[in-house]
Structure 1
Amino acid sequence: MYLEHVNLVVADMDAMLQFYRAAFPHWRIRDEGHGVWHGKPRQWLHFGDEHHYLALSNHGEGNNRKLAEHHVGLAHFAYVTNNLDAVIARLNNAGFVIAKPGSTEPYRKNVYFVDPAGFEVEFVEYLSDIPAERNLNREAQQCEVQ
């Protein structure tokens, strides 16, 4: 079993595509269309590769939850990369800045960005193939506030 896609409702599809195209230059729009969701028209698209994608719909209203508060909702989602520095450089060149640095660990590097819709996205590069090393102090990190 694996995660195929995440479905995000947003207000500005173009801004989201700018962010995710910088993060994933090999991804493309796989499919797109128009529809109605509970009486409201929307544009939707699937942006990804043959295995994983983001489903985006542009009928969002209001603001995403504030990440520093304690409201129920999505905290973040993460992507594994084999070159974190390249991801950071692409996002910085597209005008996006690191929202939160990751933890200092011997077997992984990570950073957090906030996309244009307010979703926090972690990018992580593992420096070991050994699960016990890759997940070192993982539980403790989840409890810390940066």
Structure 2
Amino acid sequence: MIQLEHINLVVSDVDAMLHFYGAAFPHWHIRSQGTGDWNGKPRRWLHFGDDYNYIALSDNGEGDNRDLSGHQVGLAHFAFVTHDLAAMINRLEAAGYDIHKAGADNQYRKNIYFLDPQGFEVEFVEYLSDIPAERNSDD
């Protein structure tokens, strides 16, 4: 089996990102962290996650994230599966984050999109079926 282990995001404010992802994943923690030099520029980095998955964050990012309504090459969004989408929404809204956009109407899954503090679109999905054909359907 192959699974995604981590996502590495270059950001301008690591602490703001920790606030968002800490609200989304209260069981996650800083696995490791440090400072260093990356291509001639100092940076703070950390790995925030659990024993199996994490988000790598590095600061000193420059510029703005891509325009999500445009057609530029780059990351459109990434998604996490949750077993309780309502609880996820409640945690993020309680932490001060608004829903960015609603997900598609589908009888086998619910989803919602948030923007993290750096402008990455994050989808959260709750599947309502264990049958792959249903989970992956466009119905």
TM range, smaller chain:
over 0.9
Runs (5+) with no aligned partner, structure 2: none
Match of 2:108 in 1: 107
Q: What SS class does the counterpart of residue 14 from structure 1 fall into?
A: helix
Alignment of 1:34-45 (within 5 A): 34-45=35-46
- In the TM superposition, 1:71-110 aligns within 5 A as 71-110=72-111
Q: Percentage identity across aligned positions?
A: 66
Shift of 1:40: 0.6
- Distance, in Å, in 1 between the alignment partners of 2:11 and 2:130 is 36
Gaps of 5+ in 1: 139-146
- Residue 65 (structure 1) shift: 0.2
Q: What's 1:29 paired with?
A: 30
Please, what TM-score do these two structures have when normalized by structure 1? 0.93
Structure 2 counterpart of 1:4, which letter? E
Counterpart position of 2:51: 50
- Separation in 2 of the partners of 1:116 and 1:39? 26
The 1-side partners of 2:98 and 2:117 are apart by 11
Aligned CA RMSD, in angstroms, stands at 0.8
How many residues are paired up? 138
For 1:4 and 1:73, the matched residues in 2 are separated by 20
Could you state the TM-score of these two structures normalised by the residue count of structure 2? 0.98
Residue 60 (structure 2) aligns with? 59
Residues 65-89 of structure 1: CA deviation (Å, up to 9, x unaligned) = 0100000000000000000000000
1:134 counterpart residue number: 135
Match of 2:120 in 1: 119
Is 1:7 paired with 2:33? no
